[in-house]
Amino acid sequence: MKLYVLFLLALLRALPSAGQQPAFVPDDGITSPFHRAHVGELLFTAAAVPDTDYAHADFLRSYVLLPKSKLFMTIFLGESLTNALHRLAPELSAAELTKAGNYQFTFYVDERLVYRSNLHPGAPYAALKNTETVVHKPLLNPTSSWWSQSLWNRFLSNGGTQALTAGPHRLRLEVRPYLQRAELLVGPLLATGQLALEVANPVIDLARIRLSRPAPYAGLTEATARFDTSAIKALKGNIEEGVFKAITSVVVLKDGQLVVEEYFNGASRQTRHDPRSVGKSFASTLTGLAIRDGYLTSERQPLADFYDLRRYAHYAPAKGRITVRDLLTMRAALAGNDEVDASPGNEENMYPTPNWVTFALSLPLDSAKPRGKWEYFTAGAVLLGDILDKRVPGGLAAYADRTLFRPLGITDYQWQYTPQHVVNTAGGLQLTALDFAKYGQLYLNQGRWHGRQVLPAAWVAKTFTKQVAIPNRANEFYGYLFWNKTYHLAGRAYETFYCAGNGGNKIFVFKDLALVVVVTATAYGMPYAHPQVDKMLEDFILPAFVGKTAAPTPK
């Protein structure tokens, strides 16, 4: 009888209680006694913890937060996200729920709301939304790249950095389900957790930091130029301590001399860096060379000279009047804007297609776009590369080697290619940091390299002209696939034309300072990537060469 009663009680516990709905989709359920005891909690750890081995000792109540710290969150849910979303819209299928819904995270610092983020429906994946009841992901971890780290970086960029000043703070996170329909639907709290943080700045002892002494390198002269070494030491210390993240190299040429050469995070002089859209600027260089050699008549040539546009979708005579110069200055009239997700010509729509040129030439004209307006358009750079590849003898890769790389003494490089195996002038050209510096020096020298006019000076002048103002950026301009901006230091202005690529990759050419600066980095897709390079320039590199000493640690 006693055994029968125990069996009956166990059976009753296994059955849904009165009013409890059965799961809409099968999920992982309660995975362990620890999970059961902490449903609805978000806990923090200083390292990744195996999901089969959770213990109270792993989870933090307080933590000292430094730039190089690791921080993970573990969310214990009573049901999967899809099941929670089902309660917001019972009429939708699981597929519809996962396409339109995700987690909403709310960040509080010292009980003040700082940031709220509705995660993009694309991550986590639909299968995980259906099944996952324990979410274990990094918020801070230099060796991985997850949606959770992007979430943390958005928090920092949207008030978190200002809130987490040096000293004690209390961080609290709340997690809810959300569903975007005609209006935003937000469900009840799924989990919450808090952590006492002691935010600390790293101690950087300049006396212990040694700058690397650049060894000879073909094409670059021996360093004799003087600069403030303490500013560069402070920069090196901040990179090594993780204040500036994912930096792989910093190279500076002064008066053509190699004066700074530092590598980080496993990179070396031999490393070929992938600076993404920095490669677009090389397309501009090769266009100038092709015009010099007579393979193009000028940058005023229209697309009608190169393509039978009637063969492509959305034909309009105005397409044929788009010029090479329009592609060089990002002013083509096609409906393509990489900064707008919904734009037909957004680069993310191009990459899955079998022919990127067909994709670009098949775009409709943007009738709402004012004539001559700048919009960042990667597919236009692809078109430019295809035009060059068709016109120069032997194809663009061989032409670039013959007319640009060999004259600069650059032999170790790697192109990326389009699906048609044409050089990808949208980006991805890999060189060493020193060879990128040579490229910048070529422009500083008005196209001359060791007495030889490699690139026409007139082309450099056109490239380094403010061809068009960049919308929504004060006093920033665009040349021929080069950017332009002005930095300010101690009341003085320092103008630069520069190449830029995702991740915080830059080649700066400061004509008035006879200075070339190369920064390579791997912070791809991170919101801090480009702002941190600006700070490196303003607080450390420029002060080292114009006489204003930088502080050891940026605030």
The model's pTM is 0.89
Rg of the chain over CA atoms, in angstroms?
A: 28
How does pLDDT run across 446-468, given as a tens digit for each residue? 999 999 999 999 999 999 999 99
DSSP-assigned beta bridge partners for residue 252: 260, 517
Measured distance CA(333)–CA(321) in Å, rounded:
9
Pairing of strands 247-254, 448-449: unpaired
Measured distance CA(204)–CA(279) in Å, rounded:
35
Task: Supply the pLDDT for residue 227.
Answer: 96
Name the residue among 496, 448, 545 with its Cα closest to residue 228: 545
Cα 116 to chain center, whole Å? 21
Measured distance CA(503)–CA(530) in Å, rounded:
7
Task: Supply the pLDDT for residue 548.
Answer: 55
Which residue in this structure is represented by tokens 């400061």? 510
Residue ranges for the chain with pLDDT beneath 70: 1-21, 548-555
Pairing of strands 191-199, 257-263: unpaired
- Exposed/middle/buried for residue 48 (C-beta within 10 Å: 0-12, 13-18, 19+): middle
Which residue in this structure is represented by tokens 């450099």? 460
Task: Supply the pLDDT for residue 281.
Answer: 98
Residue 59: strand, helix, or coil: coil
How does pLDDT run across 231-281, given as a tens digit for each residue? 999 999 999 999 999 999 999 999 999 999 999 999 999 999 999 999 999
Residue 378: strand, helix, or coil: helix
Task: Supply the pLDDT for residue 223.
Answer: 87
Query: Which residues, 6 or more positions from 295, have their beta carbon under 8 angstroms from its beta carbon?
Result: 388, 391, 392, 393
Residue ranges of domains in the chain, CATH in brackets: 22-199 (no CATH), 206-275+430-546 (3.40.710.10), 298-405 (1.20.58)
Task: Supply the pLDDT for residue 1.
Answer: 46
Which string of b and e fits 120-145 if b means at least 16 CB within 10 Å?
Answer: ebeebebeebbbbbbbbbbbbbbeeb
Residues listed for the chain:
555
DSSP-assigned beta bridge partners for residue 195: 171
Contact 148, 137 (CB under 8 A): yes
Measured distance CA(277)–CA(427) in Å, rounded:
4
CB atoms within 10 A of CB 530: 18
Cα 30 to chain center, whole Å? 37
Task: Supply the pLDDT for residue 13.
Answer: 38
